Amino acid sequence: MNAETLDLARLQFAITAGAHFLFVALTLGLAPLLAAIQTRATVSGSETHWRMTRFWGQLYVINYGMGIVTGLVMEFQFGLNWSGLTTFAGDVFGAPLAMETLVAFFIESTFLGLWIFGWGRVNKWAHLALLWIVTLTAYVSAYWIIAANGWLQNPVGAERRGDRMVLVDRAAMLANPDALIALLHVIGAGLLTGGFFLAGISAFHLRRRTADLDLFRRSMRTGMIVALPASLLTLGAGFNQFAVVADHLPMKFAVSQGDTAEQARLQAELAAELGPGDYSPPDWINLPLAVMMFLGVVLFVFASVGLVLAYTNRAGILMRAWQRLLTWSVVLPFAAVIAGWIFREVGRQPWTINQVLRTEDALGPSVSAGGMRLTLIGFTALFAVLIALDAWLLGRFARRGPDGSALGVPPETAVEPEPVPNF
């Protein structure tokens, strides 16, 4: 296999999956926040909370739609470039991916459509139930994806039979410790992203002193109330993952700790067991690890300070400076999740399935360097456009405020023109 072709294929999948993960993080964060806000509106009848539901709901729908498009493109990657993986382990790896497709593209999107078009047409409690189903299926979908990824990190519950992997213990795969601790980490990161999204946009409007100040004060408090425990969950699950990594991916752990002696010992051990080769991930994985950990601490500090200031009604230069800083901090959780994803995936190299299938063997035999260059340019351009469009739409509707939201607003009743007399 041509090394250039392999590098191009890996870069293409990294761009595809990384871009999709940006949308997923916000979806996982906004869904439960939106459901909680609508629950408060349904129970109390508060007009402010209904307006909050429509405003944040419209931003959620925009992001969700873009996420569906990027997810479809990512799914095609396995058939286009990585047929070696699907041929060898499709019977195992494909099962959780199929469940995720069923949950996300059928159940979740169906109920979200019913929620979008059900405003004023279904009972308010039924309408609320639709949104909670959307939230639940979003997290079930995340579990199936992480179960598939966790199996690549720690391939339990399956055994090799000839030239294929066969699932022999479904429970072991579903309860994979690598997947479960990663799920907690992703849930925390998603809620952290959603919390700072609410707080940052609210800070923008509070700084500008736009209308609906009460709405944005409540939204900021909601965002910070969620962001603080979410930051603790993210940090706690992240640090606990090191124990799992040390157990299942000791070479990755040795590199992350800078333990060159252990790294050399493991290299010699693996070379003796599996044959000549470089079994160590690149040393630069410590850079995204450092970025992720640094941003995690920064976001915890911001959330702690922000929760206190969210209940402070004083205005002034310092408060306006804080609100401006909080607005720009919206991008920090996205940077942290991408850094974490790079550390997780690149740290598994040179394996696609840890100590079972090398990445070079997972690539399809018909993939060429020329074809990879062409599709890499096409996919990169597509995702750049989608990310820019999503950011532009979110920014546009966020700046408009609640009055610019069309979600849940019934169309104006058409007025029949008076008949013209026929003379």
- Segment 417-421 shows an average pLDDT of 47
Flag the least confident range among 289-303, 331-345, 360-374: 360-374
Residue 121 gets which letter from DSSP? T
Q: Which residue has the higher pLDDT, 344 or 366?
A: 344
Percentage of the chain with pLDDT > 90? 47
**How many distinct helices (H) and strands (E) make up the chain?**
15, 4
pLDDT of residue 363 exceeding 50, the answer is yes
The CA-atom distances, in angstroms, between 289 and each of 245, 271, 329, 359 are 13, 27, 19, 22
- Segment 191-198 shows an average pLDDT of 95
- Segment 82-92 shows an average pLDDT of 86
Nearest to 127 by CA among 52, 38, 208: 38
pLDDT for res 409: 67
pLDDT category of residue 417 using cuts at 50, 70 and 90: very low
Question: Mutual orientation of helices 213-248 and 177-208 as an angle, nearest 10°?
Answer: 160
The model's pTM:
0.90
CB-CB contact of 207 with 320 (8 Å):
yes
pLDDT of residue 75 exceeding 50, the answer is yes
Domain boundaries defined on the chain: 177-367
Nearest to 263 by CA among 241, 286, 244: 286
Consecutive H or E run containing 160: strand 158-161
Residue 256 CA to residue 122 CA, distance in Å, equals: 53
Nearest to 26 by CA among 235, 233, 330, 274: 330
Flag the least confident range among 132-146, 150-164, 210-224, 366-380: 366-380
114-167 confidence digits (pLDDT tens)? 999 988 888 999 999 999 999 999 999 999 999 999 999 999 989 898 889 999
pLDDT category of residue 422 using cuts at 50, 70 and 90: very low
